[in-house]
Amino acid sequence: MVTLKRLSKCTLLFFLCVLPLCLLNGRLTGFQTLTVRNATTCFNCSSGRDVTILLWYWPFSKSFSLEGDVCWDRYRIPHCRLVDQRSLFSSADVVVFHNRELVQGLQKLPLDFPRPQGQRWAWMSLEAPVYNGNLRKYADIFNMTITYRRDSDITVPYGELLLQETGEHLVEDIPLNKSSLVCWVVSNYRRQHKRSKVYHELNAAVPVKVYGHWTRAYLPSSALLPTISHCYFYLAFENTVTKDYITEKLWRNAYQGGAVPVVMGPPLSDYKAVAPPNSFIHVDEFASVKDLGKYLQQLAEDKKRYSDYFTWKQHWKVKLYTDWRERLCKICLLQYNSLPQHKVYSDLEAWCSGRDVTILLWYSALQQLFSLEGDVCWDHTASPSDCGTSALFSSADVVVSTTESWYRAPEAALRPSTGQRVRGGPMDVS
């Protein structure tokens, strides 16, 4: 038996920091590359067995035709059967539930149905966490996540850039003399939003042409891209600042509209992970909004530097995801086969919100080994956790203890709160 003394501090600290990822989410999270994803490889091709995906209800009550072999005929994904007949529940490999209808009470989970062994339930949402509602009641139910996030089990972004095929040259001439410096199309305007505040500051420095429902300059969908094409820059500002939340504002409005996107939403690193360098401008790259305005003005006047922001079009093309059928067929791609067979999201709320997980090191035998100043889990292991002290017992997600230290502690009468995990000690729930 390996004793605590023989463990190096680094090894033990790493274990403590990655522990909550295994307990709460069922696996270690990791980023997935969105670009150059080829839909011609599927995990079940060698077996020749069709995977049946049952959509329990259509998102927003808008259904699409499922006649024929939809996944193959439309997206060239073989051995993937997409159905919406609930009578096929017992034979389905994956059952998909869209979050919006669940949280609004318009649909319910089939918890009374006998769940076949090996069947996976997938939680699907393309909304930002703030709009997903209360997910605490869905603990220990879902085996898969289908979202825009790169660390989802199945990633379905709003869009992505794909390499152009050999001989496919879609480079278009970008006009260098445009009528508007900066444009913004916005329908959901709220003055308290961060993007609204940045807009007002930027508009004080340079002219910003605004379209949308909250202005008198309403823009029909047919005129969206032609209008943006006359703008040097487009404000691809997301209404929520959250991990990986990059919507059609970048992929369609800016990239397909022919304007250089000025982005705000996730951190700069999230954009760099999915978009080529020198293809966008992030507001966080500037000390002030005023400095951003100056840069945009200078860039528009320098035609050579401005045109460099479109060199990505020589090698890449925009792919938009707007059809729920295509999103669901992606389940049958290679990534599905790599998922653990017995995975379950025991805290879907925590995973979705990205909140910190608190680990309590119970009693001094463990606490005296390390300094817990700062964000030690991030600093040493890049794992978003918080190693706490005994004062945080009631709010801890995971308690790490030994039997001896548990009984020696004066707080031994305390009992784990709902959802709290104990590792070691007499109350180990592993």
Written as six digits, the tokens of 125 are 């949402």
Beta strands in 99-229 (DSSP E): 120-124, 144-147, 154-155, 159-163, 180-185, 208-211
Using CA atoms, how far residue 397 sits from 82, 192, 422, 426, 427, in Å, is 38, 33, 9, 17, 14
pLDDT at 215: 83
Q: Which residues of the chain have a pLDDT value below 70?
A: 1-48, 166-172, 334-339, 341, 355-430
pLDDT at 144: 94
Q: Look up the CATH architecture of domain 27-157+323-345.
A: 3-Layer(aba) Sandwich (3.40)
- Average pLDDT for the chain: 80
pLDDT digits (tens, 9 = 90+) for 253-263: 999 999 999 99
Q: Which fold would CATH assign to domain 180-315?
A: Rossmann fold (3.40.50)
Cα(331)–Cα(155) distance, integer angstroms: 9
Residue spans of the domains in the chain: they are 4-18+355-423, 27-157+323-345, 180-315
pLDDT at 411: 46
For the four alpha carbons of 381, 129, 236 and 173, in that order, the dihedral sign comes to: positive
Candidate list 67, 101, 127, 373, residue with the active-site label: 127
The question of whether 373 is a catalytic residue gets the answer: no
pLDDT at 265: 96
